[in-house]
């Protein structure tokens, strides 16, 4: 069995000294991805290359703290993040190193990787997910919730549910909104959202979907793969909830739906750099790209990947927002200040 290590920050020193981390034919992966469906992805890489993966799984803030604490002695080879702003922050804090790879640069679109600047990109996107709207078909008219901006309209007072505004998924969306609409309009939107809350923000995206289905909320924001996961569920309770829900691609007549990216790069002080690059190249392969779609309901970034996910296909094509990852990242601090002033916790 491939060793899987989920270590706390307090065990950093032990991890560095561990024989598993000292082996040559290994890859030390620091991942903010927490999807069980990724297990097969990692197993397939090991079968193909013989390189064993030691994985440390934690949320983004824990990984950032750990990497800073370890400094030059960090055993991390690859860092995976599940949000554009997190990738931007990791690059800004110099946690990645540039990578020159003809495979990656030919397969990953330029807008889904960091700027080259002559040294090679520092991170690459491997899958995408959209920030969509779900609504209760009995309580809400679809036309009233067709855009992100409409959720702040007084006609939706007492109907809106979201997870914390400060969660990276929302911060990236709001960062894009700032780029698109400006700070003043975004702050007006945030205040309107607070005025329309059915209850204070709490829980994850699946909780928002369930709250809409049960009638606690009329409408909510969620990442697309959470919704598709429920569409594919064989649980009768999930099927019943999905039947009560409507689905919206927001802003199709204007700016397009906000799309986020999951990706990663080679850690700045990677002790197994060659294995790290091989792993990133593997994530861009048709096999791995198909698995992002078929296993975790995300969209592959490589167009040749075969998608065998009827639920994902059923959502159809949509107009995507055209905002750079850098803009989303740079606007994070401003987004948080706007949320604080609006009382959007």
> Residues 150, 267: one domain?
no
Please state the φ and ψ torsions of residue 248, each to the nearest 5 degrees.
-130, 130
167-212 pLDDT per residue, tens:
999 999 999 999 999 999 999 999 999 999 999 999 999 999 999 9
Average of pLDDT values for 307-321? Answer: 92
Is residue 310 assigned to a domain? no
| Pairing assessment for the beta strands 52-57 and 245-248 based on DSSP bridges | unpaired
Looking up residue 63, the CATH number of its domain turns out to be 3.40.190.10
Per-residue confidence (pLDDT) for residue 122, from 0 to 100: 96
Is residue 245 assigned to a domain? yes
How many domains is the chain built from? 2
Place of tokens 């690859």: 78
> Residues 27, 138: one domain?
no
CA-to-CA distance for 296 and 21, rounded, in angstroms? 28
* H or E, element range at 28: strand 26-31
Q: Where are the alpha helices (DSSP H) in 145-182?
A: 168-181
> Residues 244, 301: one domain?
no
Residue 174: give the domain boundaries.
Answer: 128-258+318-342
Q: Is the pLDDT of residue 92 over 50?
A: yes
Query: How sure is the predictor about 23, in pLDDT bands with cuts at 50, 70 and 90?
Result: low
CA 11 to chain centre: 27
Which of 297, 130, 137, 162 has its CA nearest to residue 228?
297
Q: What is the dihedral of CA 220, 223, 228, 230, to 10 degrees?
A: -50
Q: Which residues pair with 197 in a beta bridge?
A: 160
> Residues 164, 239: one domain?
yes
Contact at 8 Å (CB) between 163 and 83? no
């Amino acid at each position: 069995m491939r060793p899987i290590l989920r270590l706390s920050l307090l065990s950093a020193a032990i991890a560095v000294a561990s024989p598993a981390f000292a082996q040559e034919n290994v890859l030390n992966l620091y991942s903010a991805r927490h999807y069980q469906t990724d297990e097969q992805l990692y197993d397939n890489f090991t079968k193909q290359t013989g390189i064993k993966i030691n994985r440390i799984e934690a949320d983004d803030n824990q990984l950032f703290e750990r990497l800073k604490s370890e400094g030059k002695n960090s055993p991390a080879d690859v860092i995976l993040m599940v949000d554009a702003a997190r990738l931007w922050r990791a690059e800004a804090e110099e946690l990645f190193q540039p990578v020159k790879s003809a495979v990656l640069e030919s397969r990953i679109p330029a807008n889904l990787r960091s700027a080259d600047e002559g040294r090679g990109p520092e991170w690459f996107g491997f899958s995408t997910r959209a920030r969509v709207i779900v609504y209760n078909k009995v309580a809400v008219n679809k036309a009233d919730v067709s855009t992100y901006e409409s959720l702040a309209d007084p006609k939706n007072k007492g109907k809106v549910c979201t997870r914390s505004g400060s969660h990276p998924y929302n911060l990236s969306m709001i960062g894009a909104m700032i780029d698109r609409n400006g700070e003043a309009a975004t702050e007006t939107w945030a205040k309107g959202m607070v005025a329309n809350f059915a209850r204070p923000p709490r829980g994850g995206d699946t909780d928002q979907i369930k709250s809409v289905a049960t009638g606690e909320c009329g409408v909510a924001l969620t990442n697309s793969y959470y919704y598709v996961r429920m569409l594919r569920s064989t649980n009768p309770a999930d099927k019943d909830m999905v039947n009560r829900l409507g689905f919206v691609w927001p802003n199709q007549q204007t700016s397009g739906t906000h799309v986020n990216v999951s990706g990663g790069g080679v850690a700045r002080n990677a002790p197994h750099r060659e294995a790290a690059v091989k792993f990133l190249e593997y994530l861009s392969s048709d096999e791995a790209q198909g698995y992002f779609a078929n296993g975790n309901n995300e969209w592959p970034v490589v167009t040749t990947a075969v998608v065998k996910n009827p639920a994902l296909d059923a959502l159809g094509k949509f107009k995507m927002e055209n905002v750079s990852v850098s803009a989303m990242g740079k606007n994070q601090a401003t987004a948080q200040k706007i949320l604080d002033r609006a009382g959007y916790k």
